[in-house]
Amino acid sequence: MRTRLLAAAAVLTLATAGMALAAASLPRPKALAIMHERHEGMETIGKNFKALHRELDASSPNLNSIRTSARNIQALSAKASHWFPQGTGPELGKTGAKPEIWQNPQDFVVKMRDFQAEARAFDAAARSSDLALIRAQSSDLGQTCKACHDKYRSDMHH
């Protein structure tokens, strides 16, 4: 009886320790802060991309406005690598990030790097005054957003 109780206690202690370890890898407030930063960052990228798309469709696009959007998107894309640590998926709270991100980390990282490379390429193109090049690069950039979102973002309603 006594040994059984001890064993049960040992199992309990181990389990608690295990949970503590998992939590220790990323404290909850920190994880929530990253999730929040990710949400805001993605939304800001979206806002910049929308503004950019509209500017490019205008009869006389404002290059300065396009350059600002390009710079904003590039700067945020560089931070995006840190937005998806383990433990910031739907198990943490309301998010559009699917669990598949952490099930296919290699594919996800490839898609993330594609996005970052296209954001840099677009920023470079925006510094030129070649509207055809800017349009082509913005379309390529959009496709890297889509490639990741189609696979790794849930249809979240906010």
Partner 1 sequence: MPTRIFHWLLAGLILFSWWSVKNHHTDWHIWSGVAILTALIFRLLWGLFGSSTARFAAFVRGPAAVRDDLSGRWTGIGHSPLGALSVIALLTAVAVQVGLGLVSQDEDGIYMGPLARLVSSDTSDRARDFHELWFNVVLGLIVLHVAAIAIYRLRGRKLTLPMLTGRAALKAGIEPMRPGKWWAALLCLVAAFAIARWVVAGAPPFGS
Q: Which residues bind partner 1 (CB under 8 A)?
A: 46-47, 49-54, 57-59, 142-143, 145-146, 149-150, 157
Rank residues 2 and 157 by Cβ distance to partner 1 and give the closer one.
157
CB of 46 to partner 1, least distance (A): 6
Task: Classify residue 26 by its DSSP letter.
Answer: S
- Which residues neighbour 107 within 8 Å (Cβ) at sequence distance 6 or greater? 151
Smallest distance from the beta carbon of 32 to partner 1, in angstroms?
23
Give how far the C-alpha of residue 11 lies from the chain's centroid of Cα atoms, to the nearest Å.
38
68 or 87, CB closer to partner 1? Answer: 68
Shortest distance in whole angstroms from residue 69 CB to partner 1:
10
Cα–Cα distance between 79 and 134 in angstroms, integer?
Answer: 23
**If DSSP codes are grouped into helix, strand and coil, which group holds residue 97?**
strand
Q: Which is nearer to partner 1, 46 or 99 (CB)?
A: 46
Q: Alpha helix locations (H) across 58-130?
A: 63-79, 100-103, 105-127
Which residue from 65, 58, 66 is spatially nearest to 137, judged by alpha carbons?
66
**How far apart, in whole angstroms, are the C-alpha atoms of residue 43 and residue 133?**
25
What is the nearest approach in angstroms of partner 1 to the Cβ of residue 50?
A: 3
The least CB distance from residue 125 to partner 1, in Å, is: 17
Considering beta carbons, is residue 3 or 59 the nearer one to partner 1?
59
Q: Which phi and psi angles does 88 have, rounded to 5°?
A: -115, 25
Nearer to partner 1, 28 or 47 (CB): 47
